[in-house]
Amino acid sequence: MPSIIESQQTERLVSHKESSQHITTLGVCIFVTGILYYCFAYLLRIYPNIMESQFLGHFHTTSLGYSFLTDFYYVAYAPMQIPVGVTVDKMGPRRALLLACFISLLGVFIFSSTNTLSIALAGRFLIGLGAAFAFVTALKLATIWLPQTYFATATGCVTGFGMVAAGFTEIGFTHVLQQHGYNAALRLPLYIGMLLFLLLFLVIKDKPPAQQTSHTEATSPLSFFHLWQYVKLIMRNKQMWLIGLVGALLYLPSSVFLDAWAISYLKVADHFSAAQAANGVWMMLIGWIISSFIAGMLSDLFGSRKIPLMISSFCATLISALLIFSHGLSSTTVVTLLFLFGFACGPHPLCFTLSKENWTKKVSGTAIAFANFIIMMGGLIIQPIIGKTLNNGWHGTFTHTGIRVYTPHDFVTSLAFLPCGLFIGFVLTFFIRETYKKKPNEAKKLNDRINKLVADNPKDPYV
CA gap 425, 254 in Å, rounded: 15
What b/e readout covers 223-262, taking b as 16+ CB neighbours within 10 angstroms? beebbebbbebbeebebbbbbbbbbbbbbbbbbbbbbbbb
CB atoms within 10 A of CB 419: 20
Closest CA to 93 of 6, 188, 208, 240: 208
CA gap 137, 88 in Å, rounded: 7
**What pTM, to 2 d.p., does this model score?**
0.75
CA gap 253, 39 in Å, rounded: 18
Q: pLDDT digit of tens for each residue in the chain (463 aa)?
A: 444 334 444 444 344 444 445 778 898 999 999 999 999 999 998 888 788 778 877 777 777 777 788 778 878 888 888 888 777 877 888 999 999 999 999 999 999 888 888 898 999 999 999 999 999 899 889 878 887 677 777 888 898 898 888 778 878 888 888 888 888 888 999 999 999 999 999 999 987 766 554 444 334 455 666 667 777 888 888 999 999 999 999 999 988 888 778 888 898 888 888 888 988 988 998 999 899 888 877 787 777 889 999 999 999 999 999 999 988 899 999 999 999 999 999 998 899 888 878 876 666 677 888 998 999 888 878 888 888 888 887 776 776 666 677 788 888 888 999 999 999 999 999 999 988 776 555 555 665 666 666 566 655 444 3
Cβ contacts of 401 within 8 Å, gap of 6 or more: 53, 57
Local structure of residue 404 (DSSP, 8 states): B
Domains, the chain, ranges and CATH? 18-207+221-456 (1.20.1250.20)
CA gap 94, 77 in Å, rounded: 19
